[in-house]
């Protein structure tokens, strides 16, 4: 049996496409053009930088999930001249945060080839057991997999919130493997984020597939992933070559 551990956001679920649709509708719904005095593109670009920095802080344990959820909006509003500590901006940020989770989980866009790959794996389910490994929030990750119709393909859902560790901490991977009763060499981690998915798996001794769909280049001294692919379809070749057939 091979255990395939898939990251969710930007590996299977089209995080950026889905998020952009959600932010566009949020921008309209909360009349942010009027409030911030800028168009959607400017607002969204600023939001992305702030959100990335706050996620980094969340992974490092310097802010809580609750603060991250609110501050990504209140800090963006601050960047456009609003007072992030005023009652109305805190309240508005809370409403935006709720809206984001509600609306965001209704989006169904997947990465190119994701659904076909999962279906292909399902047809060979005697060979593979599938797991999701994600740092995302539980109230978002499970509903969005369900809405996109991909939850049925997975035997295990490993969320950092439940395991008590976040990728790239190797303890995240150790905990997941121990729940599946799997050895590292029986597993394959597939993820788009070199620092989070690939380095974490390397530290845990698990072979990895780096889904490098944005064609990033690694520094010369970086540890090489076991495999690198540009399209999810290429995973089939890796599996066909490496899976012992029963
Ligand atoms: Mg990812």
Q: What is the pLDDT of residue 47?
A: 96
CATH of residue 214's domain is 3.40.50.1000
pLDDT tens profile 163-221: 999 999 999 999 999 999 999 999 999 999 999 999 999 999 999 999 999 999 999 99
Listing DSSP states for 88-136 in one string gives HHHHHHHHHHHHHHHHHTT---B-TTHHHHHHHHHHTTTTEEEEEEE-S
CA 124 to ligand 1 center in whole angstroms = 25
Q: What is the pLDDT of residue 107?
A: 93
CA 90 to ligand 1 center in whole angstroms = 29
The residues pairing with 3 across neighbouring beta strands, listed in sequence order, are 129, 187
User: Does residue 162 share a domain with residue 88?
Assistant: no
Q: What is the pLDDT of residue 119?
A: 97
- Cα–Cα nearest to 96, from 78, 111, 77: 77
CA 83 to ligand 1 center in whole angstroms = 32
User: Does residue 234 share a domain with residue 116?
Assistant: yes
| Strand 128-134 relative to strand 208-211, pairing | unpaired
CA 197 to ligand 1 center in whole angstroms = 7
| Strand 227-229 relative to strand 208-211, pairing | parallel
User: Does residue 7 share a domain with residue 119?
Assistant: yes
Q: What is the pLDDT of residue 246?
A: 56
CA 128 to ligand 1 center in whole angstroms = 21
User: Does residue 223 share a domain with residue 129?
Assistant: yes
The total number of structural domains that make up the chain: 2
User: Does residue 123 share a domain with residue 49?
Assistant: no
Whether residue 153 is predicted with pLDDT greater than 80 in this model: the reply is yes
User: Does residue 119 share a domain with residue 45?
Assistant: no
Domain boundary among 69, 104, 139: 104
Domain boundary among 54, 84, 104: 104
User: Does residue 75 share a domain with residue 137?
Assistant: no
Which pTM was predicted?
Answer: 0.87
CATH of residue 79's domain is 1.10.150.240
CA 89 to ligand 1 center in whole angstroms = 30
CA 9 to ligand 1 center in whole angstroms = 4
Task: Tell me the residue range of the domain where 41 lies.
Answer: 15-104
pLDDT tens profile 106-147: 999 999 999 999 999 999 999 999 999 999 888 889 999 999
Q: What is the pLDDT of residue 12?
A: 98
User: Does residue 92 share a domain with residue 45?
Assistant: yes
Cα distances (Å, whole numbers) of residue 181 to 16, 135, 174, 198: 34, 21, 10, 21
Q: What is the pLDDT of residue 243?
A: 73
CA–CA dist 141, 235 (Å, integer): 23
CA 103 to ligand 1 center in whole angstroms = 20
CA 212 to ligand 1 center in whole angstroms = 11
- Residue count of the chain, please give it: 246
Q: What is the pLDDT of residue 138?
A: 87
The H or E element containing residue 163 is helix 160-163
Q: Which long-range contacts (CB under 8 A, 24 or more apart) does 44-47 make?
A: 44/20, 46/76, 46/79, 46/80, 47/23, 47/72, 47/73, 47/76
User: Does residue 157 share a domain with residue 236?
Assistant: yes
CA 77 to ligand 1 center in whole angstroms = 26
């Amino acid at each position: 049996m091979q255990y395939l551990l898939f990251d969710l956001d930007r590996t299977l679920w089209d995080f950026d496409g889905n998020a952009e649709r959600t932010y566009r509708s949020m921008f309209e719904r909360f009349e942010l053009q009027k409030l911030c005095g800028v168009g959607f593109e400017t607002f969204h670009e600023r939001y992305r930088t702030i959100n990335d920095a706050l996620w980094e802080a969340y992974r490092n344990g310097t802010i809580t999930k609750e603060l991250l959820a609110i501050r990504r909006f209140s800090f963006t509003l601050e960047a456009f001249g609003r007072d992030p500590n005023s009652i109305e901006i805190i309240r508005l940020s809370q409403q935006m945060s709720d809206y984001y989770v509600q609306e965001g989980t209704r989006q169904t866009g997947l990465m190119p080839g994701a659904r076909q790959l999962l279906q292909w794996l399902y047809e060979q389910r005697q060979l593979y057991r599938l797991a999701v490994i994600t740092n995302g929030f539980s109230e978002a990750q499970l509903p969005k997999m369900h809405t996109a119709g991909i939850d049925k393909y997975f035997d295990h859902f490993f969320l950092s919130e439940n395991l008590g560790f976040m990728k790239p901490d190797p303890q995240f991977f150790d905990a997941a493997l121990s729940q599946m009763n799997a050895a590292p060499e029986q597993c394959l981690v597939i993820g788009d984020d070199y620092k989070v998915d690939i380095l974490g798996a390397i530290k845990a001794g698990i072979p990895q597939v780096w889904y490098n769909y944005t064609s990033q280049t690694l520094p010369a001294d970086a540890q090489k992933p076991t495999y690198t692919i540009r399209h999810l379809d290429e995973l089939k070749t890796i599996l066909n070559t490496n899976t012992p057939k029963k």
